[in-house]
Structures are given as structure tokens and as C-alpha cells.
């Protein structure tokens, strides 16, 4: 084993790239869950975004258009979920699982003629001064635009939830939809908007995988990233900055695992692959045993069907 | 504003609203003047809630008109009603537990000011009206009385011209009720009209200037509450002469249920922890336990029914420790319970009445042999309950969810009583039940006691407790006062017991 082959700076730089897809998907899901909806279809929306983005980028030659269409495609898919759960009042867990399976199937169908093609390259940004800084420059300031967009979304979601009226209404809907309805807020409309936002974010995350991180199209290429995103939301106890921490932590584990494999580590890497889920289970146990604020931060109406009586 | 004797703030004419199978409001008309406190009186299901929901814009009337200050008024949504100066304090609180007081208030306002300004105004208004409140606290940590203040202050910040209050006192101690009435009188003297919904007649007589009485969706009478007796109003409300349970003072036999030093931690974040609860109940005796909601009632019922386990000696039956026995083991030896929440706790909503009868009756009624359910016997048990307690339902195959609240309550209480328990614990036995059915349930409880059972009635309805209890105790923040004979207790004494006077504890051995 030769750990000296692992360069911490390169590790850090590749960590940001590795974490971006799950960060995008997780911050979208956080908004959905804050509105009181549990959408387990993240994996399906991600992979649909991955193929939509990939196909459009290949056809038009523009990765930018690819990302836009990935967000739109996945948001459309999430609207199927929204229609089923919000209007037909179907069970959110079952519908979400169905959405994942549907998304996986749909994406392989759409992607049949794109296997083995190379997408147009997404440019790395070159920021004046910042990118030229020694050490920090290559590690933090020389990534493609999407890395910074994902960070901006996290900051935006945080500010929205904390400081704006829209954020307050969103939290209120997720906390007690009957009371929100009684006060005259449009519970279903707000939830549909949140679901579509979550879909768009998951789509961006998927497209980042197929256009930047890998970059090519293979069936089932998200390989559980959507489930990690769901786990991160719980791990972060529904707080935006902790989602960032969780995504970078779990992204780091993914990168580290590859590096350790290359370095010939003695313990099986599967243990590292398991670790995000183990940590999530641990957090869930700690949360449910503690009766204080931690347990409270979960939206109280999460996963409950809203039906406006009267 | 044209203030004359004939000026009305709100005029309601011929409002009608029908739901499939039931006419909730049928040609309802009444008027309220500025500064008037107007009572809307009626039993559960009389259509009071539907009526105020129409005024508040939550429900659209099928026909009829409303005028506010002489102008046509037809709010499409609560937002529009609030903009016109109509505010409402809900019966079931419309608050968000995980949000702060200030955030909750902001959600009820059209155009809330910034956080700091809002906090300042909340403090200001709450001082003015004698309702102290800290804007930064989480609503989940507040008592029921404080939560109601949040709702009231949320309304007051909008300078309403009409304030609708839907059964505001059901969760308050007598002292808190006095504070609330002070606030309402002050508002009324400033010109705010109040539409006050309740079925507590003495309160209406103390507070209201005029009253409209509803029965089965129709206006059946109007009166000036100060000039008529509570009994007259009650009879207008119910439409028949009330049957008051007859009570022979119980002598009390051997001690059946004994609870000593019962302390149980709550299992939910906003629950109450029971602290060192002591009491005993004798055969033939009814112990009434009062207290404001959320002071440990649910936890006490769970500890007595066996849902939460306690140290063995904390609960005993005829001297035998049963603290570690689960609900079925307790049923086997005759300790039965009927919890407050009907749907989901006392009954499984989507299962039929027959199946629900089986769920608690299987042991004592021997409804299963060798693991196989005896359905004919179960069905006849359900039919006996339906017949004995006048449960209005097409038959035992109907789902529990399909019954109205009052009918389901009769069913779940009847199911336990027919199993001939030695000890029966009930929580809110007549909550949401109309007056005649409530009287029947109370009479059944008294009959059971007369046959030698020990009964614990947990309730927030003080009149009910005074009517049927031999002894009375109150829960306050998980502590139980020493039980005292119910006869001769004054409202002030009860209020002190509920409000946390622990000086009686010393007298308890």
C-alpha cells in the first residue's frame, strides 16, 4: 500500500467535482421535504436529467443547453409525481419508488443511440486573479460553472428559507398543512412548485454526471447517487449548509475510495461505499432518541397526504 | 362611519350550504352591530363551523348574501376576508409548533413588517391587552392558553372589525377564561364586534349581548342571554327537555385501583412527563380528573391502560402489582380504557365496527378460540353495542370512519362498558357528543359504577366532572393534586387545583 500516492490537494479538487451531483440533488430534495413531500424518485429524476442533458448537448453541441434541458426534463418527470400525489392523493413512498423505476427505464430507452459517444466538453472557468492563486487557485477556483452554481443554489435556498416570506410559507406548509390551508395558503400549489424545483435540481445533478464527471452515457450511470442525496437530507437534518457538508463528506468518501483502490488498500472498498448509509442510519437513530430540537427540525407533515376538507 | 341604532357591521341573509347528504346551513340570517358580542350557539353538527367558515371565506355558500358595513361581502378566500377586517381564532389551533411566535404571527398577516418591528409590535399589543407573550419562543413549547394568545394577537395586529372566536375556552383554566373575557370586553368597548361560538351556556350569559341559536343548520331562536336562563337556552339548542343523570352518592367499597408514585417520561417531544402521581379508586366510585389539555391526560391514560409500562408497584389492582402488564394482560384482569382520540387510537378508522369490536373485546368476550376468530359471535357483540348505546349506523359492517364523531364515541365507550370491567379509565368520554348522547354516556358510566366498578374519568369539561364524580383531582404539568370530594368544591378551588396549587399534596399520605 502506498498512501503517499494520494495528493491531498488533488483529492480536494476532485472531491468538489465528485460531490456536485449529489449536492444538487440533495438541495432540491431538501426544498421538497421542507414543503412536506417525500419524493423518493430522486434517482429516477437524476438519470432522466443525465440522458436529457447528454442528448441535447450532443445534438446541439452546447453543454449549457444540455444543462437547461436536463433541468426541464427532470422537472417534467417530477410533475408526474406531483400530479399523482397532490391531485390523486396517491401514497408518496410508493409513487416515489415507482418514479425511480420509471426514470431508470425511460432513460435507457432514450439513451440507446447515445452509448459510447463523447459529449462536448464543459469549459473550466478561469477567474482572473483567483484562479492564479497558488494552491487555492487550482483547488477552489478552477472548476466549471456548475460547481459554483450548485454552491449558489445552496446559499439561495438557505436565504430563502430563513429570510423570506415565501420560505416561511413553505416551511409552514411542511409543518402543518391543515393550518396553512386554514390561513388561506395554497398548499397544493406550493408543494407542486417545490416538487418541480426538486426535479430540476436532480436533473442538473444527473446532467453533471453525464456531461462533466464521467463524461459519457451508460445505462444506470447514477448508480445510487439519488439515494445518497436522500440520505444526505436526513443526515443534514434538513439544514442547507449541512447538506453541503454532507455532500462534500460523502463525495470525499467516493473519491477517497477510488484513490485507496489505486493505492492498493487492504480493506475492501465496499466498506467505504457503505459508509454514507451507515452514517445516515446512525443519524436517524440519534435523531429519534433525542427529543429536543434535532427531532423537531424534521417537517412534521412530511409524507402526509393533504386533502382539503370543507 | 354612520353609527346609528340601525347600523349593522355585518348582515347575513339566507345563507345556505349543502354537502352531499346533509344541509349544513339552511337559510341562516342574523345581524351584528359594531362593538356587539354576539353568541352563536348550537350543538356539535348544528352548522356553526360551516357558517363561520363562510364568513371567513373558507367555504362558499350555495345561496344567500352577506353585507359588511352595508357593502356586499363575498370573500373568495381567507385573505380577502382578512383584508376586509374579519379575523378568526380557530377551535383547533392553526399554529405551527416548530416555528416561533413571531413567525406564526407573520403567517397570519397580509403584509407583515420586518422581524424586529414585528417582535416589537407583538410585545406592545400583548402588554396592552394583558396577554404576555415572548415573540422568540417556539410555539411547541407553549401551553394551550399561551397558544391561544398567539392566535388572538395574530388577529389583533390586523385591527379587525369583526373577530370570530370558535370555542375559545375549551382549553383554558377558569382564571385564564377570566383574562380572556377581560380582553374581549376591552375589544368590544373599542368597537370591535365579536362573534363568539360556544356551547357553554354560562359563559355566553356572562359575556354576550345577544345570541343566535342554531339547530340542524337552521336558526331556531334568538335571545338576549343575560335575560334567559341557561336551561332555556339549552332546551332551545337541543330541542327536547334535558335528561340529567341521577346520582346516588357512592359509599365506596374496597380499593380496586391504586396508583402510587407513578412517574413516566413522555415519549413525544411536546408531551408531558408524569411526576409522582398518587391516587386510589374504590369499587363503585367515580374519580374525576380535570385539567387543561396537555397537562398529562394522555400520558396518564396510557400508563393506566398499559400502553406505557411503569414500575410494577406504581399501578396495582386489588393490591396486585400490574405496572408491567401490557394492555391485553390488563384487559384479561378487568382493567379497560377508552382513549380520547377516537380515530386512530380508540378505533381503527378503516376497519368495520365488527372488527373494531373484536380489537379490544377479543379477550373478555372470548371472541376467538385457538387463534381463529368467531365472526358470528363478534358480529353479535358489535350489534349489542350498537343497540345498547343507540349508535346511529346502518349496521356493524360500516367502517368506523363513516360514523359521526358522537356516534363513534358512543360505540367505543359502549364497547368497553359492555365488557363489564372492574376498572374503567376514560379520557374525554363526551367530547364532541351532543347533549342527549352525552347524558346517556354519563348515565352508563354511573350505572357501571353502581354495579361495583371503579371508574376514572379524565375530562376537560368541568361541568361533566362535577356532575358524575365522587372525588375530583386535577392534573397540572404532569402532577396530580390530592383528590378531594367533588361535592361542595367551588369554581375558585377547582381553578386553583388546575392552576397548580400543590398545598394539598402535603395532606396526602
Domain annotation covers residue B2: no
Radius of gyration of chain B from Cα atoms?
Answer: 24
What number of CA atoms fall less than 13 Å from residue B120's CA on the CB side? 5
- How far is the C-alpha of A135 from the C-alpha of B167, rounded, in Å? 67
Assigned C-alpha cell, A160: 430563502
Chain mean position to CA A261: 26
Closest-CA distance, A86 to chain B, in angstroms, reads 20
What's this model's pTM, rounded to 2 decimal places?
Answer: 0.73
Q: For residue A14, what pLDDT band results from cuts at 50, 70 and 90?
A: confident
What's the structural domain count of chain A? 1
Residue B62 CB neighbour total at 10 angstroms: 14
Assigned C-alpha cell, B233: 337556552
Please tell me whether residues B306 and B394 are part of one structural domain: yes
Domain annotation covers residue A124: no
Please tell me whether residues B439 and B357 are part of one structural domain: yes
Contacts of B96 in chain A (CB under 8 A): 171-172, 175-176, 179-180
**The CATH number of the domain where B485 resides is what?**
3.40.50.300
pLDDT of res. A37: 95
pLDDT of res. A4: 67
Contacts of A295 in chain B (CB under 8 A): 269
> Mean pLDDT throughout A238-263?
85
Domain that holds residue A156: 3-115+130-296
Domain annotation covers residue A46: yes
Domain annotation covers residue A256: yes
- Tell me which DSSP letter residue B250 carries: P
Closest chain B CA to residue A166:
B107
List the beta bridge partners of residue B221: B213
| Strand, helix or coil for residue B17 | strand
Domain that holds residue B420: 255-507
**Interface contact B405, partner A, CB < 8 A:** no
Please tell me whether residues B265 and B198 are part of one structural domain: no
Q: For residue A308, what pLDDT band results from cuts at 50, 70 and 90?
A: confident
**Interface contact B99, partner A, CB < 8 A:** yes
pLDDT of res. B108: 82
| Strand, helix or coil for residue B41 | strand
Please tell me whether residues B46 and B131 are part of one structural domain: yes
Question: Are the Cβ atoms of A175 and B96 closer than 8 angstroms?
Answer: yes
Domain annotation covers residue B63: yes
Domain annotation covers residue A303: no
Please tell me whether residues B205 and B262 are part of one structural domain: no
Please tell me whether residues B165 and B302 are part of one structural domain: no
ipTM of this complex: 0.80
The DSSP element (H or E) to which B382 belongs, if any, is: helix B375-388
Assigned C-alpha cell, A3: 498512501
Domain annotation covers residue A96: yes
Q: For residue A69, what pLDDT band results from cuts at 50, 70 and 90?
A: very high
- How far is the C-alpha of A100 from the C-alpha of A117, rounded, in Å? 25
**The CATH number of the domain where A190 resides is what?**
1.10.3470
- Domain C-terminal end among B208, B238, B268: B238
- How far is the C-alpha of A151 from the C-alpha of A149, rounded, in Å? 5
Assigned C-alpha cell, A284: 436517524
Q: What is the mean pLDDT of chain A?
A: 88
pLDDT of res. A189: 95
Domain annotation covers residue B493: yes
Pick the closest to residue B218 from B486, B24, B448 (CA basis).
B24
Output A45 or A2, whichever has higher pLDDT.
A45
> Mean pLDDT throughout A248-254?
83
Buried b (16+ CB within 10 A) or exposed e, A92-113: beebbebbbebbbebbbebbee
What's the structural domain count of chain B? 2
- How far is the C-alpha of B405 from the C-alpha of B455, rounded, in Å? 23
Please tell me whether residues B228 and B293 are part of one structural domain: no
Please tell me whether residues B106 and B194 are part of one structural domain: yes
**Burial zone of A41 (CB within 10 Å; 0-12 exposed, 13-18 middle, 19+ buried):** buried
pLDDT of res. A192: 97
pLDDT of res. B380: 94
Question: Are the Cβ atoms of B106 and A168 closer than 8 angstroms?
Answer: yes
pLDDT of res. B462: 77
Domain annotation covers residue B244: no
The dihedral region occupied by A78, where left means phi > 0, alpha psi between -120 and 50, and beta the remainder, is alpha
- Domain C-terminal end among B177, B207, B238: B238
Mean pLDDT per 10-residue run, chain B (509 residues)? 64 87 84 91 78 88 90 87 87 80 87 85 86 86 80 86 85 78 90 86 86 87 85 72 52 84 78 87 91 82 91 91 91 91 85 92 90 93 91 86 82 93 91 78 90 91 83 88 83 72 36
Closest-CA distance, B350 to chain A, in angstroms, reads 16
Assigned C-alpha cell, B73: 361581502
Closest chain A CA to residue B109:
A183
Distances from the Cα of A159 to the Cα of A86, A153, A168, B112, B113, angstroms: 27, 10, 11, 18, 18
Domain annotation covers residue A88: yes
Q: For residue A262, what pLDDT band results from cuts at 50, 70 and 90?
A: confident
Q: For residue A158, what pLDDT band results from cuts at 50, 70 and 90?
A: very high
User: What is the per-residue pLDDT across A94-152, written as a single tens digit (0 to 9) for each?
Assistant: 999 999 999 999 999 999 999 989 999 888 877 777 777 877 787 788 888 999 999 99
Please tell me whether residues B182 and B271 are part of one structural domain: no
Please tell me whether residues B140 and B270 are part of one structural domain: no
Closest-CA distance, A202 to chain B, in angstroms, reads 28
* Nearest CB to A182; choose among B94, B112, B269: B94
Domain annotation covers residue B405: yes
| Strand, helix or coil for residue A104 | helix
Amino acid at each position: 500500500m502506498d498512501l503517499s500516492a494520494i495528493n491531498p490537494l488533488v483529492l480536494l479538487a476532485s472531491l468538489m467535482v465528485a460531490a456536485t451531483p449529489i449536492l444538487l440533488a440533495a438541495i432540491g430534495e431538501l426544498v421538497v421535504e421542507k414543503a412536506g413531500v417525500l419524493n423518493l424518485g430522486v434517482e429516477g429524476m437524476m438519470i432522466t436529467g443525465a440522458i436529457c442533458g447528454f442528448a441535447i448537448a450532443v445534438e446541439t453541441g452546447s453543454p449549457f443547453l444540455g444543462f437547461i434541458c436536463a433541468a426541464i426534463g427532470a422537472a417534467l418527470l417530477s410533475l408526474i409525481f406531483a400530479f399523482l400525489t397532490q391531485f390523486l392523493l396517491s401514497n408518496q413512498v410508493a409513487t416515489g419508488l415507482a418514479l425511480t423505476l420509471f426514470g431508470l427505464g425511460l432513460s435507457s430507452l432514450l439513451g440507446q443511440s447515445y452509448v459510447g459517444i463523447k459529449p462536448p466538453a464543459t469549459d473550466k472557468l478561469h477567474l482572473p486573479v483567483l484562479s492564479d492563486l497558488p494552491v487555492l487557485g487550482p483547488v477552489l477556483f478552477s472548476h466549471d460553472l456548475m460547481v459554483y452554481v450548485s454552491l449558489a443554489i445552496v446559499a439561495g435556498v438557505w436565504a430563502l428559507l430563513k429570510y423570506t416570506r415565501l420560505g416561511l410559507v413553505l416551511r409552514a406548509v411542511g409543518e402543518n398543512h391543515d393550518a396553512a390551508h386554514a390561513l388561506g395558503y395554497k398548499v397544493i400549489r406550493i408543494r407542486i412548485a417545490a416538487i418541480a424545483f426538486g426535479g430540476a435540481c436532480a436533473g442538473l445533478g444527473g446532467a453533471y454526471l453525464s456531461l462533466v464527471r464521467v463524461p459519457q452515457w451508460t445505462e444506470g450511470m447514477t448508480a445510487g447517487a439519488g439515494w445518497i442525496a436522500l440520505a444526505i437530507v436526513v443526515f443534514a437534518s434538513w439544514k442547507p449548509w449541512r447538506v453541503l457538508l454532507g455532500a462534500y463528506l460523502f463525495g470525499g468518501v467516493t473519491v477517497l475510495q477510488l484513490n485507496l483502490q489505486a493505492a492498493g488498500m487492504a480493506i475492501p472498498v465496499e466498506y467505504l461505499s457503505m459508509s454514507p448509509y451507515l452514517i445516515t442510519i446512525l443519524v436517524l437513530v440519534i435523531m429519534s432518541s433525542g427529543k429536543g430540537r434535532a427531532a423537531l427540525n424534521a417537517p412534521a407533515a412530511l409524507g402526509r397526504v393533504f386533502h382539503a376538507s370543507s | 362611519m354612520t353609527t346609528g341604532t340601525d347600523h349593522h357591521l355585518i348582515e347575513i341573509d339566507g345563507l345556505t350550504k349543502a354537502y352531499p347528504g346533509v344541509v349544513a346551513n339552511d337559510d341562516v340570517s342574523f345581524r351584528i352591530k359594531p362593538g356587539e358580542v354576539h353568541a352563536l350557539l348550537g350543538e356539535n353538527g348544528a352548522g356553526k363551523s360551516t357558517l363561520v367558515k363562510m364568513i371567513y371565506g373558507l367555504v362558499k355558500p350555495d345561496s344567500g348574501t352577506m353585507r359588511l358595513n352595508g357593502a356586499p361581502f363575498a370573500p373568495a378566500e381567507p385573505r380577502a376576508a382578512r383584508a376586509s377586517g374579519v379575523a378568526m381564532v380557530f377551535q383547533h389551533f392553526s399554529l405551527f409548533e416548530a416555528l416561533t411566535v413571531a413567525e406564526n404571527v407573520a403567517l397570519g398577516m397580509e403584509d407583515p413588517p420586518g422581524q424586529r418591528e414585528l417582535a416589537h409590535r407583538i410585545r406592545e399589543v400583548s402588554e396592552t391587552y394583558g396577554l404576555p407573550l415572548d415573540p422568540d419562543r417556539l410555539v411547541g413549547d407553549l401551553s394551550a392558553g399561551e397558544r391561544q394568545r398567539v392566535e388572538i394577537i395574530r388577529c389583533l395586529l390586523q385591527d379587525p372589525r369583526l373577530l370570530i372566536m370558535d370555542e375559545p375556552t375549551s382549553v383554558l383554566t377558569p382564571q385564564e377564561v377570566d383574562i380572556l373575557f377581560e380582553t374581549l370586553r376591552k375589544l368590544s368597548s373599542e368597537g370591535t364586534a365579536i362573534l363568539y361560538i360556544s356551547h357553554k351556556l354560562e359563559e355566553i350569559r356572562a359575556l354576550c349581548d345577544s345570541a343566535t341559536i342554531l339547530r340542524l343548520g337552521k336558526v331556531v331562536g334568538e335571545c338576549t342571554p343575560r335575560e334567559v336562563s341557561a336551561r332555556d337556552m339549552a332546551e332551545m339548542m337541543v330541542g327536547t327537555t334535558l335528561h340529567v343523570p341521577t346520582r346516588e352518592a357512592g359509599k365506596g367499597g374496597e380499593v380496586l385501583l391504586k396508583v402510587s408514585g407513578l412517574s413516566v417520561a413522555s415519549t413525544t417531544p411536546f408531551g408531558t412527563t408524569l411526576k409522582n402521581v398518587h391516587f386510589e379508586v374504590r369499587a363503585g366510585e367515580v374519580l374525576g380528573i380535570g385539567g387543561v389539555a396537555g397537562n398529562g391526560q394522555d400520558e396518564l391514560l396510557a400508563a393506566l391502560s398499559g400502553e406505557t409500562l411503569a414500575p410494577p408497584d406504581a399501578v396495582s389492582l386489588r393490591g396486585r402489582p400490574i405496572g408491567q402488564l401490557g394492555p391485553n394482560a390488563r384487559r384479561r384482569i378487568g382493567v379497560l380504557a377508552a382513549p380520547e382520540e377516537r380515530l386512530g387510537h380508540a378505533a381503527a378508522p378503516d376497519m368495520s365496527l365488527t372488527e373494531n369490536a373484536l380489537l379490544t373485546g377479543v379477550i373478555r368476550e372470548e371472541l376467538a378460540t385457538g387463534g381463529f376468530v368467531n365472526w358470528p359471535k363478534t358480529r353479535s357483540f358489535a350489534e349489542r353495542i350498537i343497540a345498547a348505546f343507540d349508535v346511529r349506523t346502518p349496521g356493524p359492517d360500516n367502517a368506523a370512519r363513516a360514523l359521526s364523531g358522537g356516534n363513534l364515541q358512543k360505540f367505543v365507550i359502549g364497547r368497553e362498558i359492555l365488557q363489564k370491567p372492574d376498572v374503567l379509565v376514560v379520557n374525554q368520554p363526551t367530547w364532541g357528543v351532543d347533549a342527549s348522547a352525552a347524558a346517556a354516556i354519563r348515565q352508563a358510566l354511573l350505572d357501571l359504577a353502581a354495579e361495583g366498578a371503579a371508574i376514572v374519568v379524565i375530562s376537560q369539561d368541568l361541568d361533566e366532572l362535577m356532575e358524575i364524580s365522587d372525588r375530583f383531582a386535577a392534573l397540572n404539568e404532569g402532577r396530580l393534586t390530592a383528590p378531594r370530594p367533588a361535592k361542595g368544591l367551588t369554581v375558585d378551588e377547582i381553578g386553583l387545583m388546575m392552576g397548580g396549587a400543590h398545598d394539598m399534596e402535603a395532606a396526602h399520605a
